[in-house]
Structures are given as structure tokens and as C-alpha cells.
Homo-oligomer: A and B are copies of this chain.
């Protein structure tokens, strides 16, 4: 039996586009002699469809796509994910289902049982868990069909669920497992995924075909990396990261095994590639082509600009330099250099006239009061307004350049440097931004060395440095990582060796700035815990604050 895995970039709610893509893959697989082709979880509607699932019309259109695929299944089996109605009155209205289509018939449906409801996942919001499990017979083989999380309750030390769907199917003695997934990227996920697939193969002793989505849906990025694993627990094949692909495997050869074919999993390279597809898909799926951003001469905006150029082409990226009286010469020079190094058009608009106009208009209100964060914020907001004006007039999307460390501690101005349609670096700590910069410079100096080497500064008052108000980034990032990604509380952090007063100060900064993150741009998620839907915190909470 020849099995095709189609690793595609779906678009949420774009039923026509998704169906067209799948029908093309069906035709191609059929032409190459495949017996069966497998698409991803909820492939007909894209993932995550979120509350669109609450609209009957959305479900009706999902059914229509399944129907169209069924009509294309005359000579080839098709496995595809779709929401489906729960016919029982009690419980949620929908199932998250895998359809098995063949010879114009539905020859099997397996609903998902383990519904991820943590981090960015909300599946129990919509779906009733499956309670029945059966294999599907196809061309003399029994196939254990499963949806994403249903293979993730094996080999965990702290299992999230009380049942294991594949265990239920084993009495029927399946010959192979097919898993259709929509499993989002983070920089450690590819290894985890292989570990989980291997745990299943070791437990059941049969090959596993795992097919994933690829591409970004706003903040959520899918890396692909679909896996075929032989019964010997070796990775027979791993499909590419961050690209669409379709590959056909001979089941007999896979069963024999003995082959290992894995890709490099370098963290910074993966983050780079994820951010590039994240930017590209955001623009493409919204129907935009051009980005704009502000270039300060610092490292964050430099890295964002180069990533944007990699994603959209440097001819589609424009930058503004918006110096103030507090900007150092080197800032402007570094920014110009960055633009020139990467073939990016830049314009310079000094903010002084607008800043002065605000100062004059507020003079009678602010009489006798000292310069403080208010005046710093006005500068940032003048810049935000200029960038948005360019964005509005010329149809650019403004890219936000805030990094994860700043976003965590609220070191940024709401409606100022926090403006933007998409946050490119909001899940990348400052110390990782430096690594990204060095990675981008691996062949030539795209980012001026001076932007990498000088001490970071917001340049909103004379001689300002980040280190005036923040702990050193190497310490800060470690505390943040353990608090945010690892969810260590204050005691645990002190046990890990961090200074108690410093821990209290950092945690307080994180918690009192929830109101800013509430209004932040969506953040391209590259870690296991990014800001946004995956981290839901109260705003008026009084805890560690």
C-alpha cells in the first residue's frame, strides 16, 4: 500500500482555497499511484477556527468540503479532518473528526477523544470527546485512525487525560496508525513530537504515519515536520519544516525500517524560519504585501527589518527613522547602514516639530512639573502616529519590534512603540534577539555590528540606558523564562538561586503590566509559552504585584 502525506498550508475559513489545494494533492497522489492520501486535522476549515465553529453556516461549509472530497475518492482513499455534528442531544454540539473516504463513500469516521484545553488550545470549548474507537479496514489492512492529541497520552509522566484511545483499538489488531494533526511549532516541539510518536510505536509495535499542518495562522505557526516511523522506532522520514510538501511512502518498505532521516533542529535557525513564515503568511492571508516599521538603530528593529525583508522581499519593506533631540548620531547611522545593507528604502522624519507642538499645547497643564515618563511616552506616540499614517496612506502593515523581555516587564509605550499589526519578536527574549542577529549575520554583515554591540537604550531622555531601569538582560531573561515558560513561583525562583528582592521586583513588573499586553499586537509564537491566547492572566489581580 502506498500512502501519501500531504503537509499543506491551510487558511482558516477559506473553504474554497483549502479544498482546491486538497483536490490538487489528491489528483497528484493518484497520478503517482498512491492508494491513500492523508490531510491534517480540521483541514477543510483550517486550524484553529475558534468561535467560527459556533456558526451553523461554518459547519455546513465544512461538510460541503468533505462531500467534495468524497466525490474525488473514487480511486484513492482520503483521510481528512473536519468538524462534524454530535447527534446526541447531551454534550457539546460538535466532534473533531477524521473522515476516511473511499469509492465515493464514507468508510470510517473517528472522532477525537483527547481535547487539548491548555495554553493556546480551547478544544473542549467546542467539541465532545469521542467514547468509541474502531479501526478502519482499507485494502486488506486495518488502520488505527487518530486525531492529533489522541496519541499524546502515551509515555508521559504526568498524563493529562484518563484514557488512551489507541489502547481501545488494539483488540482489533491494526496494521498501522495514521495520525492527522495540527500541532503548533515551538523551538523544542520537533523533538517532543518524535518522542511522542516513538512512544506510540514502541507501545504498539506498528508503523505510524503522522501528518501535520504547515504555515502560520496569525500568531500560531505550524512547522510541518510530518513523520513516518517504522516499527523499529526509527524516523523513516521527517518531512521539511515550514514548507508545503507531499510525499508517498510504500507501507512494505516502512515496515522493514532500518532507515533514519531527520533534520537539523537548531533552535535559532528554527526560530528564524518560523518568524519568516509567520510574517509572510500574516501578510499573504490578509491580502497585504508591504510592511513598514520604525528603525531606531537598536537591535530589535534591525532584526525585525531583516526578517521582514526575508519574508516579503526587501522591495516590500519600508522603514522610517524618526530621530529626536535625544537620539545619538550612531543611532541614525546604524539605522541607515542597516537599510543600505539590506536594500531597504528608508526615510527620515525628525519628531521634534510634533513633540514641540504637544509640549506647547500641554504647557499650561504641565506648568511646573518635571520631565518624566509622560514626555518619553509622547515621543514614542508621535512615532507610532507617523508610522500608522504611512501605513494608512500606502497600505503597509506596521510591524511591531518589541521583544519578549520588554513585553514581559512593560518596558514599552502603549500606543507608541507597542503599535503594530503583528509582533515579530514578542516571543523572543532580548538575549535570543542577539543570537538571531548573529545568525542573520552568518554570511555577511546585514545587521551593523554596532547595533549588536552597543548597550541597549530607548533614547527617550539624555543618556538613557535600559540598564537604568531594568536588571541586566542575561539575569532578567533567566528569571522571566522560569516564571513564564516554567511557571515557577517566587519560592521556587529563590530556590533556583535568584535573589529574592530581584525576583519580587521582576514578578511585580510582569504582573502589573498585564494591561499593556492585553492591548498588544498578536505575537508570533515560537516558545512553549508566548504572550497572547496561550497565557491568560487577570488584569485587576493582586498577586505578586
Contact = CB atoms under 8 A, between A and B. Distances in A.
Interface of A: 11-15, 17, 46, 48-52, 54-58, 60, 89-93, 117-118, 122, 124-125, 158-162, 216-218, 281-282, 285-286, 347, 349-351, 353-354, 356-358, 360-362, 365-366, 369, 372-374, 377-378, 381-382, 384-386, 388-390, 392-393, 414-415, 419, 421, 487, 489-492, 515, 518-522, 533, 535-545
A490 B385 CA distance: 36
A286 to B, nearest CB: 6
A393 to B, nearest CB: 4
A544 to B, nearest CB: 8
B354 A358 contact: yes
Nearest to A490: B57
Contacts of A544: 13
Which A-B residue pairs are the 3 nearest by beta carbons? Answer: A13-B543, A57-B489, A14-B542
Nearest to A539: B218
Contact of A91 (B161, B347, B535, B543): B161
A11 B393 contact: no
A542 B45 CA distance: 10
A114 to B, nearest CB: 11
A52 B12 contact: no
Given A89-B159, A365-B393, A540 B415 contact: no
B354 A540 contact: no
17 contacts: A14-B541, A14-B542, A15-B543, A49-B538, A50-B537, A52-B543, A57-B490, A90-B161, A91-B160, A92-B160, A117-B122, A351-B361, A353-B361, A354-B357, A377-B388, A381-B415, A382-B385
Given A89-B158, A90-B162, A160-B91, A415 B538 contact: no
B54 A487 contact: yes
Contacts of A13: 538, 541-545
A389 B361 CA distance: 11
A365 B347 contact: yes
Given A50-B537, A217-B540, A381-B388, 20 more contacts: A14-B542, A46-B538, A52-B541, A56-B492, A57-B489, A57-B490, A89-B159, A90-B159, A90-B161, A90-B162, A122-B536, A217-B538, A285-B542, A286-B540, A347-B365, A349-B365, A365-B393, A373-B392, A377-B392, A382-B385
